[in-house]
Amino acid sequence: MAASMVTSSSSDSDENGQKSHQKSKSLQRKWCYMHITSIRHEEMQDFTRTRWNSYRDSLRRWLELKGECRDVAENYKHCVDLEFESIPEDAAFHPTSYCRFIDKTAMAKMERRIFLFPKGHLQKAAELKDDHSILMHIKDKDCVAIEVQYHKSCYQQYTKFLSKPARPEKEQNEPMFDVSYNLFCERIIRQRLLVNQEVLKMDQLRKTFIELVKSSEGLDASNYRQDTLKKRLTCDFPQLVFHTPAKRNICELVFAETVDGNTCGHATFSIRSRNHTV
């Protein structure tokens, strides 16, 4: 097919650089390659090299996102790999559409939103951790609307336990002392670690557990292993942090993760009102 349309300027100088008269000739055959809004009487423009490349960059970015621009991008994704030299003959744009399509702020905003999509996870994690500081902000609300923001790594850290198996594999032939365990969780874990925010040593926890089994069930739990207890607690209380100090002679410490950050680099979240920017 004969190319009736020739983008006359092959120079890179764009920005209004081509208000060519001969353009009108081919106008009827042109398409806005990023038409988003209904533009009434806006003249279409030809791509320059620079604009074509920005367009392709934006295409690439929008394809990872959602929304109206993404839908548009979907229709033109074949253009991502097209160099300016092989630009489709009918490619053009409305300046208004162009502005919206390459709007980096809009993309960034959408990128942030995308990140909020696994709200279900966040809420579930917060519920399991009984984390009211998070829950009060997100429960039954649209996370996008309140702009919950977080670092990717923090989010992963915070919700990591959800992807772990629900229960540690049952230890073979090992008595679980469920009655005492529940008591232990109530008195020690909930009351001291979560409510009082105490920091306790892991071996101390085990000792307390063994004593509790003795006093409440009259049984001997002295063979109950520390790592069994730890596994069980990790599973039932995802908000607990097990911290092994660098010094070898200091026992593993157990405390509750706090949302406003702590020195160990655990989850930190910030929940901001709508007008804040990252």
Which residues of this protein are in contact with Zn ion, per CB under 5 A?
32, 35, 39, 94, 97
Q: Are 35 and 95 in contact (CB under 8 A)?
A: no
Distance of alpha carbon 191 from alpha carbon 19, whole angstroms: 75
Q: Which is nearer to Zn ion, 19 or 274 (CB)?
A: 19
Q: Which is nearer to Zn ion, 98 or 181 (CB)?
A: 98
Nearest distance from C-beta of residue 35 to Zn ion, angstroms: 3
Q: Is 148 exposed, middle or buried (0-12, 13-18, 19+ CB in 10 A)?
A: buried
Nearest 5 degrees, angle CA 258-CA 263-CA 266? 50
Q: Which is nearer to Zn ion, 32 or 233 (CB)?
A: 32
Q: Which is nearer to Zn ion, 94 or 232 (CB)?
A: 94
Q: Which residues contact 163 (CB under 8 A, 6 or more apart)?
A: none
Nearest distance from C-beta of residue 19 to Zn ion, angstroms: 18
Distance of CA 131 to the CA centre of its chain: 19
Q: Are 251 and 202 in contact (CB under 8 A)?
A: yes
Q: Which is nearer to Zn ion, 68 or 203 (CB)?
A: 68
Distance of alpha carbon 109 from alpha carbon 265, whole angstroms: 26
Phi and psi angles of residue 255, each rounded to the nearest 5 degrees, phi first: -155, 170
Q: Which is nearer to Zn ion, 35 or 232 (CB)?
A: 35
Q: Which is nearer to Zn ion, 35 or 49 (CB)?
A: 35
Nearest distance from C-beta of residue 10 to Zn ion, angstroms: 24
Nearest distance from C-beta of residue 140 to Zn ion, angstroms: 39
Distance of alpha carbon 118 from alpha carbon 262, whole angstroms: 24
Nearest distance from C-beta of residue 97 to Zn ion, angstroms: 3
Q: Which residues contact 144 (CB under 8 A, 6 or more apart)?
A: 113, 116
Distance of alpha carbon 155 from alpha carbon 157, whole angstroms: 5
Nearest distance from C-beta of residue 44 to Zn ion, angstroms: 7
- Across the chain, how many H-helices and E-strands are there? 12, 8
Nearest distance from C-beta of residue 38 to Zn ion, angstroms: 9
Nearest distance from C-beta of residue 95 to Zn ion, angstroms: 8
Distance of alpha carbon 236 from alpha carbon 255, whole angstroms: 14
Q: Which is nearer to Zn ion, 39 or 65 (CB)?
A: 39
In 3D space, the residue among 240, 244, 262 whose CA is nearest the CA of residue 253 turns out to be 244
